[in-house]
Structure 1
């Protein structure tokens, strides 16, 4: 990211974004919870990208340079928190599961952000309690640093349905299978199959937000069958791709 806007306060508000719209790279001096009540939100930093459907929110710590992109029409709910209020103790962007109660708390808190009533303060306290209890969900694609690993990741980002083995990909970028396997673990903190599954799930969320049929999503993302895709999707998100549709 070359140009970065500095927006000192992290706003609390509701914002609509058209499908494909972006918010350019910026940073706040405060923490922010970013939640898409509809559509799929992608947040990108120098460390990688995070993808969140309506069952997930993204915690963005103070000072993090980040950009947003909407997949599908996005109803974006933003909650700003002082840098001193870090209920999760997290220093990196993190995807959090949003249970029905937490969803309603976020919607209610962002609906009327300009009031400072006792009721609103109690609402914020409950919201923070629910955030502390929210499970972390690793829908994250870390950014590779090694140029050989970056080349492999770029090949698969261009075509998530590519079923090439790591050895075959290594021949294309001039690196051995063992070297690449070690780089995936040391550079990205996951194995090659784990990273490829995360990539495919992230791509599937985007396609589903664009109302692509489930069978088509499965094939475009590299699963051998729709049933195999549905099983992996359910394990990752707790519901089927059909139930996920915006």
Structure 2
């Protein structure tokens, strides 16, 4: 089967599980390192002519990563698509297992079994911390309800103060974020690249945890290491003077 992936998480999952199946990926598909397949542009604006030229048997997409218009265009061109949309860790594990089985994997790969074990045997977390989770700046955008990353953080003892917001990605002002009086600010390095110099200064006196975006938002082989990586980063926040 010839597969094109427009989702970095799934690019890594398919490549490690079924070497040779993947024939194309986006420019943002950075894992596994050294990936040598045709590149088809970005996740939001792929070059569909390049995708079609690869004669894929299946194109992998995600509701949040990709545009509905591109999925519709591929279907109209006669190309089968598989659209993923996990909103919890359990849903991600199930969707991955189903996808890999349908692509011809004879059994669940070791990385997926390791991910199941890692999330089933989480160490005791500290008392829940009330947090805001910005994912963009200028304007500020935060995690709201019903997101995969939100479920990851919940399992690690982080209570998202916007988890009951009607929007999945609310856009509060900085004053509104501060008014929530978070005990913790979670700053992933993607999609916006928050750093120790860009982010914590907006929340003086509040601990700011700088997290690996790949381990927070990717649903693939990184899931196996995510609990340990993220727990360590949550335990080592940056605090700017108040």
Both structures adopt the same fold (TM-score exceeding 0.5): no
- Give the TM-score normalised by structure 2: 0.30
Structure number having the greater strand percentage: 1
Structure number having the greater helix percentage: 1
